[in-house]
Structure 1
């Protein structure tokens, strides 16, 4: 028996939320144009993740009325890896089918709760699908862990030093500061490290003082601002999420798609022209793509609600040994009945502004703390009740805006999908990297037919908004 660490209350919540149709597994993907030397990749990942963080060598055990991470001395890194060669022609469709087939494959509780699928034959290069249970860490820390495997140049030091610590005051951070005008490897490393900090920015810009206000529900004193009025309404009355094409019970057949990238500078130009944020513009495109998808399937609804993860702790480049979860979910209601993208943008800006001015994230964190103390049956009912108020999870990851490398190979793109629960049908991800914006969806294949239309519609919605801006 190895060393044990007790799971935090929120970590234990996610551990017990697996359902056959919706597993609590975070799926992360990156790909390269050139084949990866898997021996070199193995050395990097084993050193930077496996040897540094005990949770990757641990299994979950039930003891003394709670869940514990128990380190397994006999655990082997190579047992967590799976090699796959894509069938011809080795394009997007083949890789997406592979990911979809894994989306409902549970992780073995008798083994460490993660796996990496090493893919050859994707567009002449390679890809890695990293699957890890949400109980290990939240999405922000997962992304930070992923970045620790990458380098700012083929032969450069790691992007950031993420040596684990046990909560001591001292931390080891990345090199920050202005990059030299000449650029080069050093300048790239510094720029990348700064961008690693911005990576954990809250997608909706709220809750930046959430944990400072107190870790309990009582610590969140609601004021009379519109954001807090909205919070009370959502908590007591629920959100508007009209029954529509995708309403129903989820199955175990999933579908994956992602769009061609959009230039981030183009998104910034549209945002600047309307005194909006980049996030406002991107979320508006989500709303318009859903409007167009529903219209194409003969359905109209006024509003679709999404759960949006919000980070609750400051950026810490020295990740704690136990990792874990420190986030909340805010509910964002998107208008899906408007034909005019500019009107949609105005509504989105107002609703995002109310969330930013309120305390919804800290209230949600308090609700999670209360729920973690309920009996399993009541807890499961409460989770399903709250989760089914949203169609799924909408995640916006502002990644590094410089090219990164792994085992000497340049990374061409990144994508990931948050887990869903209850009868949520879509995980929608907006991921920016190296000056490009990628959009991906993981959906229930039975309830969201023609799922690729949603991500294609996102790109179409942006170009429509761009045309209206430039006319």
Structure 2
């Protein structure tokens, strides 16, 4: 039987630490109509779901945490218990759909059986329908969840933006390949590189610890209620690429800069002064290699940059985001997160379980939000012959983080899925529009002549 890693089991502990938390990840596919016959849906979904054994397994926990939880086949597995049908209220707009998604994602999954659900949603405008896949975080991270959702499509996932992530693009070591590998100078150079990586990891671990302990002055951090709000934003990938080319930044930089502007506007509307340390953000980093994109588990590290909500100029804000992410990568936070995860898997599980349980119950005031970038399919999917118009991510929130944002690239668009505590962020629709407006401003700046862009930046400052 497969055992949970310390990271996988940690999501169970984080959920147990707060009765108002549900640590499930969601993927919402919106499809063209008409909706297929319910019996045909169940038969097709059942056939495709069985291709992933984890969907038919449940968790078995050891008494007193003497060993890691294990996956075992569920002898009582019944597909009908996991595929639900529901209709959105009239008039079936995005607002009604998002309200339903928020409600469903606030409910915890039943741990006595397989930890997933698929909600088939009807009643959308223009004859559309939707499928919400809900998977517990102990099963999979964002990339694996998107692959599971894409696995339900008629042709599976053939080409994914995930091929471009750093871990997937890195060549895997294959050992000694030639006598030149025995060169003492080459060996010393490699040893120096390993030593440098170790130093960066230690430095990164120190920065992670500091980030967790130093409070951030923001109303975006605090206790959670049991209710959620959900909203989404969408921008054209071609527009984002134009900004990347004009300012020599990455797609992730543009997405985080847009989020930073919307967070800044949110704080200003509340009468809070955005400060340099107001928005320390948890940014997960994938460690998933190209041959493990579809494996059901978690393979992530993290970075904890301060996003520059104190910066008023959009272009300068984008440049600061780029510079801070580059610095965070250099200081070794990514390597430290991966090293900590690897080390804890070698410590006796009772010790790590009790430690994680204690840490997840302590009040956390250092991190304000989570923002994760999930690469999706490059080409539009089809499910039961219907085109998937949009794929929207739904992140979880926990540990006093009142907002979470997941960005997912699908076909020609970059989608932002935003989940928030119901009481803490009532203006979530305005926040989502702010993300789209922020990207539009960067696109407009990218179209100006270089000298004009520089002059506007100087005048603004």
TM tier relative to shorter chain? 0.7 to 0.9
1:243 aligns with one of 196, 217, 220 = 217
CA drift at 1:114: 0.8
Q: Give the aligned partner of residue 103 of structure 1.
A: 105
> Which string of whole-angstrom CA distances, capped at 9 and with x for unpartnered residues, describes residues 266-285 of structure 1?
11111111111222111111
CA drift at 1:77: 1.0
1:468 aligns with 2:442: no
Structure 1 residues 459, 228: closer, same or farther in 2, change over 3 A?
Answer: farther
SS of alignment partner, residue 36 of structure 1: coil
Q: Give the aligned partner of residue 137 of structure 2.
A: 134
Q: Give the aligned partner of residue 233 of structure 1.
A: 207
Structure 1 residues 237, 426: closer, same or farther in 2, change over 3 A?
Answer: closer
Distance, in Å, in 1 between the alignment partners of 2:28 and 2:95 is 15
1:448 aligns with one of 425, 428, 433 = 425
What value does the CA root-mean-square deviation take over the aligned residues?
2.9
Q: Give the TM-score, by structure 1 length.
A: 0.81
- Would the aligned equivalents of 2:56 and 2:73 in 1 still touch at CA under 8 Å? yes
> Which string of whole-angstrom CA distances, capped at 9 and with x for unpartnered residues, describes residues 143-172 of structure 1?
111112224xxxxxx234xxxxxxxxxxxx
Matches within 5 A, 1:330-349: 330-349=303-322
> Which string of whole-angstrom CA distances, capped at 9 and with x for unpartnered residues, describes residues 372-410 of structure 1?
653655323324569642223211123223221111000
> Which string of whole-angstrom CA distances, capped at 9 and with x for unpartnered residues, describes residues 43-91 of structure 1?
3332222x22222112212236231222122311122111101110011
Distance, in Å, in 2 between the alignment partners of 1:211 and 1:107 is 37
Q: Give the aligned partner of residue 114 of structure 1.
A: 116
- Would the aligned equivalents of 2:12 and 2:138 in 1 still touch at CA under 8 Å? yes
1:431 aligns with 2:408: yes
- Would the aligned equivalents of 2:368 and 2:402 in 1 still touch at CA under 8 Å? yes
1:29 aligns with 2:28: yes
> Which string of whole-angstrom CA distances, capped at 9 and with x for unpartnered residues, describes residues 192-211 of structure 1?
x2x32x32644xx5797699
Q: Which moved more, 1:368-377 or 1:285-294?
A: 368-377
Distance, in Å, in 1 between the alignment partners of 2:106 and 2:239 is 36
CA drift at 1:14: 1.6
Distance, in Å, in 2 between the alignment partners of 1:332 and 1:207 is 23
- Would the aligned equivalents of 1:222 and 1:359 in 2 still touch at CA under 8 Å? no
- Would the aligned equivalents of 1:211 and 1:362 in 2 still touch at CA under 8 Å? no
- Would the aligned equivalents of 2:242 and 2:446 in 1 still touch at CA under 8 Å? no
Structure 1 residues 118, 354: closer, same or farther in 2, change over 3 A?
Answer: same
Q: Give the aligned partner of residue 178 of structure 2.
A: none
Q: Which moved more, 1:33-42 or 1:279-288?
A: 33-42
Matches within 5 A, 1:327-406: 327-368=300-341, 369-370=343-344, 374=351, 376-383=353-360, 388-406=365-383
1:88 aligns with one of 76, 87, 90 = 90
CA drift at 1:31: 0.6
Distance, in Å, in 2 between the alignment partners of 1:390 and 1:275 is 28
CA drift at 1:318: 7.9
SS of alignment partner, residue 17 of structure 1: helix
Structure 2 stretches lacking a partner, 5+ long: 174-192, 449-461
Distance, in Å, in 2 between the alignment partners of 1:71 and 1:42 is 21
Structure 1 residues 432, 84: closer, same or farther in 2, change over 3 A?
Answer: same
2:280 aligns with one of 297, 301, 305 = 305
Matches within 5 A, 1:174-185: none
- Would the aligned equivalents of 2:211 and 2:304 in 1 still touch at CA under 8 Å? no
- Would the aligned equivalents of 1:312 and 1:327 in 2 still touch at CA under 8 Å? yes
Distance, in Å, in 2 between the alignment partners of 1:355 and 1:13 is 24
Alignment length, in residue pairs?
417
Structure 1 residues 405, 14: closer, same or farther in 2, change over 3 A?
Answer: same
Matches within 5 A, 1:188-337: 193=158, 195-196=159-160, 198-199=161-162, 201-202=164-165, 205=166, 229=203, 232-236=206-210, 238=212, 242-259=216-233, 261-302=234-275, 303=277, 304-316=279-291, 319-320=294-295, 323-337=296-310
- Would the aligned equivalents of 2:86 and 2:119 in 1 still touch at CA under 8 Å? yes
CA drift at 1:238: 4.3
SS of alignment partner, residue 288 of structure 2: coil
- Would the aligned equivalents of 1:222 and 1:228 in 2 still touch at CA under 8 Å? no
> Which string of whole-angstrom CA distances, capped at 9 and with x for unpartnered residues, describes residues 218-266 of structure 1?
x98555998975653333464766322323211111101112x221111
Q: Which moved more, 1:377-386 or 1:295-304?
A: 377-386
SS of alignment partner, residue 88 of structure 1: coil
Structure (1/2) with the larger helix percentage: 2
CA drift at 1:462: 1.2
Structure 1 residues 450, 138: closer, same or farther in 2, change over 3 A?
Answer: same
2:12 aligns with one of 15, 18, 22 = 15
Structure 1 residues 331, 237: closer, same or farther in 2, change over 3 A?
Answer: closer
Distance, in Å, in 2 between the alignment partners of 1:210 and 1:298 is 49
Q: Give the TM-score, by structure 2 length.
A: 0.82
- Would the aligned equivalents of 2:25 and 2:396 in 1 still touch at CA under 8 Å? yes
Structure 1 residues 366, 211: closer, same or farther in 2, change over 3 A?
Answer: farther
